[in-house]
Amino acid sequence: MLIAIPDLLDAAGVAAIRALIDPTDWVDGNVTSGHQSALAKRNLQLPEDSPAAQQAGQAILDALGRSPLFIAAALPLKIFPPLFNSYAGGQAFGVHVDNAVRIQAGTGFRVRSDLSMTVFLEAPDAYDGGELTIETHFGVQQVKLPAGHAVLYPSSSLHRVEPVTRGRRVASFFWLQSMIRDDAARQMLFDLDRSVQGVAAALGQGHDEVIRLTGVYHNLLRRWADA
């Protein structure tokens, strides 16, 4: 499941985050890499314990909590604190799969990485390259979205960031553990949720069929969820 989340952050939200993170000292992006990723990764990153990164990350978490589309698509149980990276001057991240379990440095907090998310923080016409390239069952998908938009995709997928040959690509990235481990089941629940909303818009929230479909959704969620 690859889902674009438009307008997760508005222009003011993007500007506020950039004002926090741009003046901060950036470090080698391999500080959070596994062995495989370190062989392919060339970028800069904000340290996890950076106050600016933590404040900016909280702004993104707040925005996620306000996004019905994100909640419906991800059914999040735990979210790894958002991180921030930067690519410029030919930097790239070669093909890799994200680690199955992510552990926050210096804490006992960990998540099973069911889904990965990228929040774009730079206008796409401000840099060349930098596409997030994801290999899916339906072929290769390239994603390069406006600032403030985000994309959600399975952490198990092969993916890469293409070289940035002009300008600077700035983004937030993180992983989350869904209440629904299985990607196919999560997709079915997402499709059912959208259908329920469509039927409710046509017939009204109190219609018998809407109530029945809502019951089916929650009974499936109850059956499949780890919560």
Q: What is the pLDDT of residues 184-224, one digit of tens each?
A: 999 999 999 999 999 999 999 999 999 999 999 999 999 99
Q: pTM of the entire structure?
A: 0.93
Q: What is the residue-wise DSSP string for 125-166?
A: GGSEE--EEEEETTEEEEE---TT-EEEEETTS-EEE--EEE
Flag whether 98 is marked binding. yes
Nearest to 32 by CA among 21, 46, 20, 22: 46
DSSP-assigned letter for residue 26: P
Tokens of 226: 């780890």
Residue 143: the pLDDT is 97
Nearest to 127 by CA among 149, 143, 144: 144
DSSP SS3 for 40: coil
Question: Which segment of 34-38, 58-62, 133-137, 177-181 scores lowest on mean pLDDT?
Answer: 34-38
Rounded distance, CA 226 to CA 219, Å? 13
Average pLDDT over residues 80-109: 94
* Averaged pLDDT of the chain: 94
Nearest to 3 by CA among 58, 57, 67: 67
Architecture category of domain 3-178 in CATH: Sandwich (2.60)
Residue 136: the pLDDT is 86
Rounded distance, CA 172 to CA 45, Å? 10
Architecture category of domain 183-224 in CATH: Irregular (4.10)
Torsions phi, psi of 152, nearest 5? -115, 130
Residue 20: the pLDDT is 97
Flag whether 159 is marked binding. yes
Average pLDDT over residues 6-18: 98
Residue 13: the pLDDT is 98
Domain boundaries, the chain: 3-178, 183-224
Burial class of 151 by CB neighbour count within 10 A (0 to 12, 13 to 18, 19+): buried
- pLDDT band at residue 39 under the 50/70/90 scheme: low
Tokens of 106: 């210096």
Tokens of 147: 């600032």
Q: Tokens 């479909």 sit at which residue?
A: 213
- pLDDT band at residue 29 under the 50/70/90 scheme: confident
Flag whether 218 is marked binding. no
